[in-house]
Amino acid sequence: MPRAFAEIAFTPSVVAAQERYGSRRANHGFTLAAEAGNRLGAAESAFIAERDSFYQATVSQDGWPYVQHRGGPPGFLRVLDPGTLAYADFRGNRQYLSVGNLNADDRLTLILVDYANQRRLKIWGRARLVHADQDAALLARLALPGYSARVERGVVIAVAAFDWNCPQHITPRYTLAEVEALASPLVEENRRLKARLADLAAPG
């Protein structure tokens, strides 16, 4: 069975490049996989739930790629079911490049990166834009209480394929919360040592 991502991404010009650079045989394995790789499982769901951002590529009406960042609290990109993702799209610079592109061509690709653990996941899909007057319940489900952003619409993504990437060339980076979690035992030890020093220095 071919991997769904290979069916999408291995276009004739990509296959020609694989032939030219000698990786056609290695990549042929993706056409003989056990699973298509288009149903999000436990590993993908857990990974997505931890992400606080991703990059989203869309296609303009005349074929230019367009990539933009989407961010929010961890888990703002929701797995609604194994074939569906959704997120609340916030008001931004009001150029509406991504949503305008999606209105003409619903295809998108996401890349989600876990810098600290050097993992990344690519997802291909087709997007549907949902406004509050169309499905208030869905928008309520995507809402992020306490997060300061105005939700303009929901973006619902029918997952067409996904593929995990290797960790190469991902420089580990840490969010403030991750740094605090890593540093907290040292901070605590420092506090205890300072208290002990103060005790030792105290007269009597």
Residues lying near ligand FMN in the complex (CB under 6 A) are found at 68-69, 92-93, 95-99
> 154: which strand partners?
88, 130
Minimum CB separation of residue 28 from ligand FMN in Å reads 36
- The single residue listed with the structure tokens 């406004």 is 131
Q: Which residue in the shown chain puts its C-beta closest to ligand FMN?
A: 92
Give the residue with the Cβ less far from ligand FMN, 44 or 152: 152
CA 153 to chain centre: 18
Minimum CB separation of residue 93 from ligand FMN in Å reads 3
Question: Beta-carbon neighbour count of residue 56 at 10 Å?
Answer: 24
51 three-class SS: coil
Give the residue with the Cβ less far from ligand FMN, 68 or 165: 68
Cα–Cα distance, 145 to 159 (Å, whole number): 26
Minimum CB separation of residue 171 from ligand FMN in Å reads 22
Give the residue with the Cβ less far from ligand FMN, 60 or 117: 60
For residues 151 and 142, the answer to whether their CB atoms sit within 8 Å is yes
For residues 51 and 74, the answer to whether their CB atoms sit within 8 Å is yes
Minimum CB separation of residue 97 from ligand FMN in Å reads 4
Minimum CB separation of residue 149 from ligand FMN in Å reads 9
DSSP state of 169: T
DSSP state of 104: H
Give the residue with the Cβ less far from ligand FMN, 91 or 196: 91
Question: Beta-carbon neighbour count of residue 149 at 10 Å?
Answer: 15
What region does 94 belong to: left with phi over 0, alpha with psi -120 to 50, or beta? Answer: left
Give the residue with the Cβ less far from ligand FMN, 59 or 99: 99
Look up residue 175 and give its amino acid: T
Give the residue with the Cβ less far from ligand FMN, 83 or 92: 92
Minimum CB separation of residue 62 from ligand FMN in Å reads 17
